[in-house]
Structure 1
Amino acid sequence: MAVAAVRDRRPADLDALAAALVEVHRADGYPVEGVAEPRTWLTPPGTLRAWVATLDDAVVGHALAMTAQPAIAAVEAWAQLGGDVATTVVGARLFVAPAGRGHHLGTRLARTLTDWATRHALDVVGDVMVKDTVAIAIYERLGWHRIGSAMHDTGRGDRVPAHLYASRLITAGQYA
C-alpha cells in the first residue's frame, strides 16, 4: 500500500515540483501561467510557508502560503468585506500531479494550509480558476466560502474566470 504524506517543502524538492507542475499543466491546464519558469512560479516573493505532498517519498504535490498583497483580487475582495489584510495570507500554488491522485493529497495540502493559518490566527484567501472544479470542491468541502469572482490575468494578454475564496466568514449571510 502506498504511503501518502504532507511535509514542509525543502529546497531539494524544487526540481521534482517543477517537473510535476509541467505535468499538471499538460494534463489540466493548471496553472494558467508560470510553466515556462516553474521554479520561479513555485517560489513567489512573499512566500511564508510551503508544503509538499509525497507518495512513497516521491514529491507529487504542493501548496504554499504567501503574504497578502492588495493587487491580488481575493485580498481586495476580502478587504472590501471587512477582512483585516494584516492578518490574512494567500493560499496558492496548490496542485497534485497525476501520479499522486486518488490519495486525497489535494485535500490534505489544503487542510494543512488552513490548519497552519488557524494556529497562527490568520485568515486565508485565494482564487481558483472556474475550470478547476476539483480544487473548488476541495475548498468548499473544507468550509471555505466564495467571496466573489474575478478575471485572472494570465500575463499573456488573456484573462480567465476565477472564483475568490476565504477560509472563514466575517458575518453570516454576508456573501451572496
Structure 2
Amino acid sequence: MAVRDRRPGDLDALAAALVEVHRVDGYPVEGVADPHAWLTPRGTLHAWVATVDEAVVGHALAMTAQPEIAAVDAWVQHGGDIATTVVGARLFVAPAGRGRRLGTRLARTLTDWATHHALDIVGDVMTKDTTAVAIYERLGWHRLGTTMHDTGRGTTVPAYLYASREP
C-alpha cells in the first residue's frame, strides 16, 4: 500500500475506480458521465493516488480556492484568507482498496502537503458519506457549517463544510 503523486497514466484506472465508487456509494453526487474531466478539474494544483499492489485504488487532489465555492466562502466569513487557501477535493477509495485506512492516508497526505506550503484547506463532504466525515474529524478538521450541494441535475444534497484548522 502506498500514496504517491498522481501520474498521467493513472487516469484510466482512476476513472474505472470512480465509476465503481459511484455505483456502490453514489459518489460523486454529480454522477460520472465524464470521469476523466471530473478527475482533472480546472485549478488542480496537486493530486495523489493510493495503490494496493501497484493497482490504483484511491485519489485526492488540491485545487485553487475560488469565490462561490461554499467551503471557501464559509472560510472567508470565518476570517480565512482566500490567497492562502486551497480546496481539498475528489477524495475516494474504491471498494478494492477499502479497509486499509487509505482514505485517511490520502487526507493526511493532502493536509501535510498544504501545511508544508503554508496553506489552509477547505472542502465539503456530503452528510451521507459518514466514512469521509469520520476521516476529516479524526484528523482534526473543523466543521464550519452546512450547505446544500448542487448536484447539477436540479437537486441538492446536504453537505458539511470543513477547514483543516480552526478559524
Q: Distance in 2 between matches of 1:34 and 1:102?
A: 24
Query: Structure 1 counterpart of 2:9, which letter?
Result: A
1:71 counterpart SS class: coil
Which of 155, 158, 163 is residue 155 of structure 2 equivalent to? 158
Count of aligned positions: 167
Alignment of 1:129 onto 2:109: no
**What is the TM-score with the length of structure 2 in the denominator?**
0.99
**What is the TM-score with the length of structure 1 in the denominator?**
0.94
Q: Distance in 1 between matches of 2:15 and 2:41?
A: 13
Alignment of 1:116 onto 2:113: yes
Query: Structure 2 counterpart of 1:7, which letter?
Result: R
Give me the identity figure in percent.
82
Match of 1:52 in 2: 49
- Superposition RMSD in Å: 0.5
Q: Distance in 1 between matches of 2:67 and 2:148?
A: 16
Deviation at 1:34, TM superposition (A): 4.2
Deviation at 1:152, TM superposition (A): 0.3
Residue segments in structure 2 that go unaligned for 5+ positions in a row: none
Q: Distance in 2 between matches of 1:129 and 1:16?
A: 24
Alignment of 1:107 onto 2:104: yes
Q: What pairs up with 1:26-175 in 2 under 5 angstroms?
A: 26-170=23-167
Q: Distance in 1 between matches of 2:34 and 2:158?
A: 23
Q: Distance in 1 between matches of 2:56 and 2:47?
A: 13
Deviation at 1:103, TM superposition (A): 0.7
Q: Distance in 2 between matches of 1:46 and 1:71?
A: 14
Task: Tell me if structure 1 keeps the 8 A contact 2:22–2:31.
Answer: no
Task: Tell me if structure 2 keeps the 8 A contact 1:34–1:41.
Answer: no
Match of 1:174 in 2: none
Deviation at 1:73, TM superposition (A): 0.1
Query: Structure 1 counterpart of 2:73, which letter?
Result: E
Deviation at 1:117, TM superposition (A): 0.1
Alignment of 1:24 onto 2:13: no
